[in-house]
Amino acid sequence: MERGTSVVHAPAWQRWGLVARGFVSVWLAYHVLAMFVSPWAVPPTSSLAVAIQGNVAHYQTLLYLNHGYRFFAPDPGPASIVGFTITKADGSQFTGIFPDRYAINRDYPRLNYHRWFMWSETLGRMFGQWVSPAEFARYIELEQVRVAELRQQGLAVEADRLVADLEEDRRVWEESEVARKRILAPLARVLLQRHQGQEIRLTLNRRMIPSLSEARAGMQPSDARLLEPERAFELGRWKWDETSQNVVFVDTPATAPAAPTIEEIPANSESNRNE
């Protein structure tokens, strides 16, 4: 080799063999297909999309590619809106919501804004049908009356089956309550630290999508008329504890009674008291 000359190396992919390049090309095509088919297979869709989805489902799950992105298209549903009211040490209050499109600059880069957006959608999915302790207590009370009526009619088997269902309902409800407090505590802590508050109240609401006629009439997606105030409910309250440097759950609603056991119902039924 002459002095002063240099060797030009070919790119790494050009040094691969034909078999290696063919394998990588097939894998890339399969990977792109797996990414594309998830939103494509969201109902309503075609039988072809469903069939392809079934063949790539394991790969999607392995790499966490199974995202439907239904909140974007083709038929987005209602948006979940989380509201919060923060009380500061001097007694003043600060209110806000998320996702908040006016906070994009504050939550820069946009990924941070997207995380708040996913927070609200996750809470809407998990607690959109949440039953409060008072509502659950009322449900148990009404079902106890039904159990008593069944026993009065001599339908012991049906009454026992209903009691077993109530015990399962109570177990599921108590587990959801534990999950609610555990999941929302970090959110309450972040918001209290950000706004230097002492106590926070979280609420969940739903914002509808304008209909075609409303959109043509000029209604904006942020229009207050699209909120459903009758569906808004409180998710809970937390306060800042200086000792533990953490948040403490302070919600004190009516405690839901335990679902009655099979042995407890006869003693409390109208039929036994009349005897």
E strands of the chain, at which residues? 79-87, 93-98, 199-207, 233-241, 246-249
Specify the pTM: 0.58
Same-domain pairing of 251 and 124: yes
Does the pLDDT value for residue 268 go beyond 60? no
Same-domain pairing of 24 and 160: no
Looking at the structure of the chain, the number of domains it has is 2
In a domain, 191, yes or no: yes
Q: Which residue has the tokens 């759950």?
A: 249
Contact 162, 146 (CB under 8 A): yes
Contact 131, 153 (CB under 8 A): no
What value does the mean pLDDT of the chain take? 77
Same-domain pairing of 130 and 177: yes
Same-domain pairing of 86 and 58: no
Does the pLDDT value for residue 94 go beyond 70? yes
Residue numbers of the domain that contains 186: 79-274
In a domain, 118, yes or no: yes
Q: Which of 208, 129, 124 is nearest to 172 (CA)?
A: 129
Mean predicted confidence (pLDDT) in 126-150: 81
Highest mean pLDDT, choosing among 84-88, 113-117, 171-175: 84-88
In a domain, 178, yes or no: yes
Same-domain pairing of 44 and 123: no
- The per-residue pLDDT for 31 is 93
